[in-house]
Structure 1
Amino acid sequence: MCDAKRYEEAISLFNYFFNESQTLPNMLSCNLIIKAHCDQGCLDDALDLFSHIVLDGRLSPGVDTYLILTKALVDAKRLDEACVLVASMGRC
């Protein structure tokens, strides 16, 4: 769905499986939804999902996650946040 740019449907399906059905997502699924939010211009929603993943602790964000978010932050000219995110990557 994300490849077809059907972001709303992909996000809805993600929410159904992982919020309503309480199924644990994998990092690939999370990265796709984070990228979908970024592609839609909903960077704060992507960062909220990232924060939830980090705080939950059951999944570990990988390099791909940081690349997606860093690029989105730089594109949005939120350079200070991008630098903080890159610096936090060293602690993971």
Structure 2
Amino acid sequence: MFGRRSFCTAVARKAEDIMKNPDCRTWELSSRVSYLVNSVGDLDTAARYSRLAVFSKPDDEPEVTVHTCETIIGSMVRAKRHKDAYDLYDYFFNKHTLKPNSSCCNHIIESRFQQGLVDEALDFHRTVKGVVPDYPSEASLRVMTKGLVHSGRFDLAQALLKGSSKMFPDHVAFNNLIQGFLDIGNLDKANHLFEEF
């Protein structure tokens, strides 16, 4: 179903387990992965290089290292390679000591919703909430409301918005819910939410 991967999924103990003469410099690695994803479209090679991120120096620009992880995970989700996205998330953040950011978490939640795994998306949301420092973010709220609305879980989307509207009074998240009610022909509910927002 997912095709054959040409990158290693085993846990590497050193950079040389991934490739010969690895370059683990933070900025160079991030640029290489971005280039492979955006210009060449070679996700397998980009994934192989991105795995070197766990061997970057820990004090050497951690946000750039996590951006490298975010780039490849997001690219795998956009390519509908959900299993690869999960494997990479697990490799970076569970098997190694990197800390995910909100965007990495959003990609996994979006992936679960794309596959119709609503309960798994909600479980993941609950798991990372309070553990990942910048999660949830405005973007998280947008991903959650969009996924819940598309799954027909309007009650949960509305509860999520009410619970976080003081923190993120986000028009895009409200629009997701309002549009969902319009799509099913519930004009009264859509109008009520519009007035409430």
TM-score range, shorter chain: 0.7 to 0.9
Tell me: CA distance 1:30–1:57, structure 2 relative to 1, closer, same or farther (3 Å).
Answer: closer
Deviations 1:61-88 (A, max 9, x none): 1111111111111122111111110111
1:55 aligns with 2:130: yes
Give the counterpart of 2:90 among 12, 15, 35: 15
CA change 1:57–1:12 in 2 (3 A) is closer
Count of residue pairs the alignment pairs up: 92
Is the 1:53–1:60 contact (alpha carbons within 8 Å) kept by the matching residues of 2? yes
Matches of 1:16 and 1:67 in 2, distance apart? 26
Using the alignment, how far apart are the partners of 2:134 and 2:84 within structure 1?
23
State the secondary structure of the residue aligned to 2:144: helix
RMSD: 1.5
Q: Unaligned stretches of 5+ in structure 2?
A: 1-75, 168-197
Partner of 2:165: 90
Q: What TM-score, normalized to structure 1?
A: 0.86
Please give the residue correspondences for 1:36-75 in structure 2 after superposition, counting only pairs within 5 Å: 36-56=111-131, 58-75=133-150
Residue identity opposite 1:72 in structure 2? G
For 1:84 and 1:58, the matched residues in 2 are separated by: 22
Structure showing greater relative contact order (alpha-carbon pairs closer than 8 Å, 6 or more residues apart): 1
**Unpaired runs of at least 5, structure 1:** none
TM-score normalised to structure 2 length: 0.43
Q: Which runs of 4+ in 1 moved over 6 A?
A: none
> Do the aligned residues in 2 keep the contact of 1:2 with 1:32 (CA within 8 Å)?
yes
Q: Name the CA distance, whole Å, in 1 between partners of 2:133 and 2:140.
A: 15
Choose 1 or 2 for highest CA Rg.
2
